[in-house]
Amino acid sequence: MKAISRTGVATITIALGILLLGGTCVATYNKLVRLDQAATAQWAQVENTYQRRADLVPNLVETVKGAAAFERGTITDVTEARSRVGQLAVPKDITTKPAQFQQYQQAQDQLGGALSRLLVVAEAYPNLKATENFRDLQAQLEGTENRIAVERMRYNEAARDFDTTRASFPTSIVAGIFSGKFPEKQYFAAKAGSAEPPKVKF
């Protein structure tokens, strides 16, 4: 059997090193793609729950309008907040754009706050609270708000997994090579003043 020359051994070693490095890069790239897709899928769930809330608002507003002497300013606030949410242009890659992400969160938080005020004010109207339609809408809206909180938490977890992996060595090298493909994800933050419990009087 013919002995392999030193040049041949060096060539094989270099080739194996290149294959190993290439395989590591491919595996790392694929992991980033998987985590990016997981965060994107979770973001879609956040949007779905926000859309469900937006769809409930017109029915709730119409039901509440039927209560005589009901505060028109509160209804106007809800209607305008929903309109702002509907007019907001949401780019596909909003999770990687800090300013637009914050604007989106603020609009959604304003709608959530207006809806909370509407429900609190509605408590003062026993006839309204007694209607089955209002009770159903209130229950659906409360369930949707809970879903929003859960989906936002899940999105934050998926974004954290992606960002942590993206920033870790040696993945950061691959992410740097494909920097336009794997930008950092944004997180939902708690609304200002959310540490204080809401004051609700029945």
The pLDDT of residue 89 is: 87
Question: Is residue 202 in a domain?
Answer: no
Q: How confident is the model at residue 132 (pLDDT cuts 50, 70, 90)?
A: confident
Question: Is residue 14 in a domain?
Answer: yes
Residue 50 is encoded by which pair of tokens?
A: 């926000």
Q: What percent of the chain has pLDDT over 70?
A: 90
Q: Measure the CA–CA gap between 134 and 64, rounded to whole angstroms.
A: 7
Q: State the CATH number of the domain containing residue 92.
A: 1.20.1440.20
The pLDDT of residue 37 is: 95
Question: Is residue 184 in a domain?
Answer: no
Lowest mean pLDDT among 42-56, 65-79, 99-113: 65-79
The pLDDT of residue 1 is: 47
Environment class of residue 107 by beta-carbon count within 10 Å: exposed (0-12), middle (13-18) or buried (19+)? buried
Question: Is residue 100 in a domain?
Answer: yes
Sign, CA torsion 103/109/111/114: negative
Q: Is the pLDDT of residue 166 over 90?
A: yes
Question: Is residue 195 in a domain?
Answer: no
Q: Is the pLDDT of residue 186 over 80?
A: yes
The pLDDT of residue 200 is: 38
Question: Is residue 154 in a domain?
Answer: yes
Q: How confident is the model at residue 196 (pLDDT cuts 50, 70, 90)?
A: low
Residue 7 is encoded by which pair of tokens?
A: 């040049």
Q: Which domain holds residue 169?
A: 8-177
The 8-class DSSP code of residue 95 comes to G
Helices and strands in the chain: count of H runs, count of E runs: 6, 0
For helices 72-87 and 6-65, angle between their N-to-C axes, nearest 10 degrees: 150
Question: Is residue 185 in a domain?
Answer: no
Q: Which of 131, 128, 108, 133 is nearest to 118 (CA)?
A: 128
Q: What percent of the chain has pLDDT over 90?
A: 49
Residue 122 or 195, more confident: 122
Q: Considering its fold, how many domains does the chain have in total?
A: 1
Question: Is residue 186 in a domain?
Answer: no
pLDDT digits (tens, 9 = 90+) for 9-37: 778 888 777 877 777 888 999 999 999 99
